[in-house]
Amino acid sequence: MRVGIVCPYDWSAPGGVKQHIRDLANALQEIGHEVSVLTPCEDESDLEPFVVSAGRPIPVPYNGSVARLSFGPVSAARVRRWVRDGDFDVVHVHEPASPSLSVLACWVCDGPLVATWHSSTERSRAMTAFYYLLQTAMEKISGRIAVSEKARQTLVENVGGDAVLIPNGVTCKQFEGGAPFEGYPRSGRTILFLGRIDEPRKGLQVLLNAMPRIVDRYPEIRLLVAGPGDADGLRSSLDPKIADHIEFLGLISEDDKVRAFKSADVYIAPNTGGESFGIVLLESMAAGTPVLASDIEAFAKVLEHGTSGELFENEDSADLAAKLEVLLADEGRLQSLRTQGFRRSREFDWASVARDVVRVYEAVLQPGVKVEADFSGQVFGRFG
């Protein structure tokens, strides 16, 4: 199948949507599909072979912040040329409700069209005003995907209709290799926390409150804290007896994240809320490190309510400590969590996600029909 994917945001800048598209494009190519990605691009050197630049994005104020987007007649012409040259069976746009290449592509394309909604946004006044224009572009989309329940809600409220839920994937392979840090694993046990130190919803405080009890039971334990924030400030505010057991790694690279998982006996996710999915949990499971997480809805779902990871009562430090004590002493349970967690992470591997996305493509394909450029038809209806 020939698939054209449209990315609305600058390819040169890091970002969730861009990463999603890159991983999806790779996974699709691995199962034998041909992929071309059209994207705005600040720096056109060193692009992946499947990426086509639509020119430099323009910084504009939009929706209360500055967005770097592509629009206007030059961009529209580039989209048309890309569609004509691409000979695509299906075009897949991302975040179609942003004023960007994506909505232009909806406008320009005629044929099987799929769209993915990523973020949950309020319906802005501008969107309400241009509802008719947006609506006619949106009506061409024959298959809709949402990456989370929240994104699906946004779609239902803003444009109506429904979507198929296909969550983000995990690149499991990336977490399989990799060696632990020097000196790990330790016989005295190691636990790991990932996330911003000073963001309350990441729940580091819940874990710190549990530390005295854990240290009592495991006097040699070490807690690795990986994430940005004021480590020195936090350390000085702690009881030195506890602080001695904590090692702050600061903001770490992706490679070091893999090593951190490999170094730990248990990864602890004490998040108190605000998580819509829990990719990190799956990354830990893919690395073979058992997870102990708060029982917020998203986590309980990912961990199958305790089958593939241990849960403790949200915001309850005593329960966290109790569960961790039992878990660390039970090698049988740890081994079972390693196996179950690994199996569970596979269900969210990009290969599985790509298979689900291809099912969506197949549902909108029309035999013998390719995506064609159609601009006049959009504006003038039958006159075109």
Partner 1 sequence: MWVAIGIVVVLVLFGVYLASTAGRLDRLHHRVDTAYASLNAQLLRRSTIAFELAMSGELDPAASLVLADAAIRAQENDGDPVDRAQPESDLTKAIVATIGSKEAVDLLFASEGGTTLGNQLSSAVHRTAISRRFYNDAVRACRAVRRQHLVRWFSLAGHTPMPQTVEMDDEVPSGFEGR
CA distance 208 to 225: 11
Site for partner 1 in 164-193 (CB under 8 A): 164
Q: Which stretch binds partner 1 (CB under 8 A): 194-202, 309-317, 321-329, 358-366?
A: 358-366
Q: Does 300 sit near partner 1 (CB under 8 A)?
A: no
CA distance 143 to 159: 14
CB of 161 to partner 1, least distance (A): 5
Contacting residues for 48 by C-beta, under 8 A, at least 6 apart: 22, 25, 37
Contact (Cβ atoms closer than 8 angstroms) between residue 265 and residue 190: yes
Q: Which of 161, 185, 200, 212 binds partner 1 (CB under 8 A)?
A: 161
Surface-to-core class of residue 184, CB atoms within 10 Å of its CB (0-12 exposed, 13-18 middle, 19+ buried): middle
Site for partner 1 in 121-160 (CB under 8 A): 136, 139-140, 142-144, 160
Contact (Cβ atoms closer than 8 angstroms) between residue 350 and residue 169: yes
From residue 318 to residue 357, what is the string marking binding to partner 1 with x (rule CB under 8 A)? Answer: -----------------------------x----x---x-
Q: Does 199 sit near partner 1 (CB under 8 A)?
A: no
Q: Which is nearer to partner 1, 193 or 277 (CB)?
A: 277
Q: Does 13 sit near partner 1 (CB under 8 A)?
A: no
Surface-to-core class of residue 382, CB atoms within 10 Å of its CB (0-12 exposed, 13-18 middle, 19+ buried): exposed
CB of 343 to partner 1, least distance (A): 10
CB of 133 to partner 1, least distance (A): 12
Q: Which of 149, 229, 365, 372 binds partner 1 (CB under 8 A)?
A: 365
Q: Which is nearer to partner 1, 34 or 110 (CB)?
A: 110
CA distance 300 to 310: 9
CA distance 52 to 39: 6
CB of 36 to partner 1, least distance (A): 23
Q: Which two tokens stand for residue 92?
A: 């897949």
From residue 22 to residue 41, what is the string marking binding to partner 1 with x (rule CB under 8 A)? Answer: --------------------
DSSP string, 286-317: HTT--EEEE--HHHHHHTGGGTSSEEE-TT-H
CA distance 317 to 213: 9
Q: Does 316 sit near partner 1 (CB under 8 A)?
A: no
Q: Which stretch binds partner 1 (CB under 8 A): 53-61, 162-170, 195-203, 330-338?
A: 162-170
| Half-sphere exposure for 370 (CA within 13 Å, toward CB) | 11
Count the site residues for partner 1 by CB under 8 A. 28
Provide the b/e sequence for 273-293 (b: ≥16 CB within 10 Å). Answer: eebebbbbbbbbbbbbbbbbb
CB of 160 to partner 1, least distance (A): 7
Residues near partner 1 (CB under 8 A) are 136, 139-140, 142-144, 160-164, 347, 352, 356, 359-360, 362-366, 377, 379-384
